[in-house]
Structure 1
């Protein structure tokens, strides 16, 4: 089997968890990084759901594209499905990704299932920040997740203005 590509837009960018031949910045069109998934376990509870990232329709998204050896296909895809598909809120897709050099590749991606009960939809910045500020789950406070994501994105020199706007509203909350 030929080598294949995987697109990461959240923690997969800095903590992929699989071996790869190369990694480079890439962009996909038609989807954007968004706090659009309710988290009932890791970053919230059913009574106070947190918000985590999804790749939702509309706009574009800069992330990391990983080239993986073809002989690792079965193992890497199984790992990604176990990591991303536990509650079926994401759907597996192959999307065109554009690398920095202009090359287009097909990349395995996990996009938001808008029909899933955990889909939060497009929230106003203040509403998203409020939900994140009051939510905590088994993996910790939801604000820590958002602030860590923004910090990692900045380290990678990737700007996400909406996520940064939510984080700006959380900074005073996280220091208390």
Structure 2
């Protein structure tokens, strides 16, 4: 299939998949190669604090990642990029990249996405599932408990027919843990 080089696509791998926050003309399942979905970003505000950081998703090197690609009308491109930069580049833990993705209909298209900056202080690295679950279990930020974020993400992925075995293992370890988050440790922001 021929690709229209003037088309503008955005690739989402986390909450962007079910909560893009912008208008789009087309939405397809897509795969990015060379990167994987990972709880590799320390959250100091929304899902944790600097004393007890939570973990949120990043696109990190290695493997591949099934997510969602959105085709945006050309006239909306600048506004969507501005919106995404405001949403994703708050602390600059992500780098804006355009990379090829394979759409579910077989087309390969360039798509704008956000990958982790491994040199950023908020990069947690490749964690074992038990390490991630231990951090998530005790972290609370201004948007609520980190465990809610992880379980909500996994629920949405399942609803979309996307399996993420590592994230499923983190969630299973969370469910097995006996200690609910201690809300008295919440520092308010």
Common fold by TM > 0.5: yes
The reply on whether 1:62 has 2:66 as its aligned counterpart is yes
Map of 1:95 onto structure 2: 99
What SS does structure 1 have at the residue aligned with 2:175? helix
Q: With structure 1 as the length reference, what TM-score do the two structures score?
A: 0.97
CA distance in 1 between partners of 2:176 and 2:84 (Å)? 35
Q: After TM superposition, which residue ranges in structure 1, 4 or more long, deviate above 3 angstroms?
A: 172-176
Secondary structure at 1:98 match in 2: strand
Secondary structure of 1:167 counterpart: helix
- Number of positions where the alignment pairs a residue of Structure 1 with one of Structure 2: 176
C-alpha RMSD of the superposition: 1.4
1:37 corresponds to: 41
| Structure 1 unaligned regions, length at least 5 | none
Relative to the length of structure 2, the TM-score reads 0.90
Structure 2: unaligned runs, 5 residues or longer: 181-189
Q: Is the 8 A contact 1:2 1:69 kept in 2?
A: no
- Displacement of 1:3 in angstroms is 2.8
Are residue 144 (structure 1) and residue 148 (structure 2) matched? yes
Select the structure of larger CA radius of gyration: 2
Q: CA deviation at 1:175?
A: 9.3
1:48 CA displacement: 0.5
Check the 8 A contact 1:144/1:174 in 2, yes or no. Answer: no
Paired residues of 1:26 and 1:98 also in contact (CA < 8 A): yes
CA contact (8 A) 2:137 2:179 kept: no
